[in-house]
Amino acid sequence: DTGVSQDPRHKITKRGQNVTFRCDPISEHNRLYWYRQTLGQGPEFLTYFQNEAQLEKSRLLSDRFSAERPKGSFSTLEIQRTEQGDSAMYLCASSRTDAGNQPQHFGDGTRLSIL
C-alpha cells in the first residue's frame, strides 16, 4: 500500500484566516481518523469517519472545526477563523474494520503555524 498521505505538510497563516487540510487514506480502509498533536504531547483524538459517516467528534472539535469525507475516500479538515491555540500538528490515520483487528496507520501530518 502507499500509506496515508496528507497535504500540505506545512501551513503558515495569519490569525483569523481559514485553512483546509486534506487526507488520503490507505485504499480500502473504511475508517479515517483525525488527531491533533501539540509539541511534547501525545496525539489527541478529534473525530473519525466510517465511509462517509462521521461517527464521533471530540469536545476538542469546536464549532470552528469541520471535517468531511464526502465519498468515503479522502477527507478534509477545515478550521475557520484560526486562533493562536490552533497551532499544532494535525494527523490523519486510517484503518479497516472488515479484516480482523487491523491497527490504525498514520500519515506524517500537516503542521499548522498561526502567526
Partner 1 sequence: GENVEQHPSTLSVQEGDSAVIKCTYSDSASNYFPWYKQELGKGPQLIIDIRSNVGEKKDQRIAVTLNKTAKHFSLHITETQPEDSAVYFCAAAETSYDKVIFGPGTSLSVIP
| Residues binding partner 1 (CB under 8 A) | 4, 31, 33, 35, 40-45, 48, 56, 58, 91, 93, 95-97, 101-109
Looking at residue 52, what DSSP letter applies?
T
Closest to partner 1 by CB, 70 or 103: 103
Least Å from the CB of residue 107 to partner 1: 5
- Side-chain-side CA neighbours of residue 7 (13 Å): 6
Closest to partner 1 by CB, 79 or 107: 107
What is the arrangement of strands in the sheet containing 19-24, beginning at the earlier edge strand? 5-7, 19-24, 75-79, 65-68
Least Å from the CB of residue 53 to partner 1: 14
Query: 47 with 56: CB under 8 angstroms?
Result: yes
Closest to partner 1 by CB, 45 or 73: 45
